[in-house]
Amino acid sequence: MWAWNHDPASRTIENRRVFATTHDLPGRPDGACVYADGFYWSANVDVWQVVRYDPKGQIERTIPIPVQKSSMPCFGGLDLDTLYVTSIGNGGTSPMAEGQPLAGGLFACQPGIKGRPKPLFAG
């Protein structure tokens, strides 16, 4: 996964660098969001979980979900303290484990932290 510096005033990015290497991990990263203190939450397709990376790119925690393929985490609720996670439904070209009636669903949990509003980006 890559990281860049973002200038909100000019809405530009620069200084591309490696944030985290996931080649040796099961599954693959998909959609993601950033937590208020700079922690990065990534849906991890094929391993039944969402992964939280610290600002240095190290895995800080994982949260299991009841489906194989999570697709996008985001924070919501009045205090931005609810983590919502979308998932990929049964179908398409990627094989999926049997017996997942919740595949394609939206899941919510309160991990005890708070997200931050999405910044504007013009790139």
pLDDT at 122 over 70: no
Candidate list 7, 24, 30, 79, residue with the active-site label: 30
Question: What percent of the chain has pLDDT above 70?
Answer: 86
Report the pLDDT value the prediction gives residue 8, as an integer from 0 to 100.
85
| Residue bearing the bigger pLDDT, 78 or 16 | 16
- Return the pLDDT at 37: 81
| Structural domain spans, the chain | 28-109
How would you class 37 by CB atoms within 10 Å of its CB: exposed for 0-12, middle for 13-18, buried for 19 or more? exposed
Query: Is 46 part of the annotated catalytic residue set?
Result: no
pLDDT confidence of residue 13? 93
Are residues 45 and 88 in contact, defined by beta-carbon separation less than 8 angstroms? yes
Average pLDDT, whole number, for the chain? 87
Higher-pLDDT residue of 66, 123 = 66
Nearest 5°: phi and psi at 75? -100, 145
Length of the chain (residues): 123
pLDDT, tens digit, for every residue of 49-104?
A: 999 999 999 999 999 999 999 999 999 998 889 999 999 887 665 666 677 888 88
DSSP lists the bridge partners of residue 84 as 74, 108
Q: May I ask the CATH architecture of the domain 28-109? A: Beta Barrel (2.40)
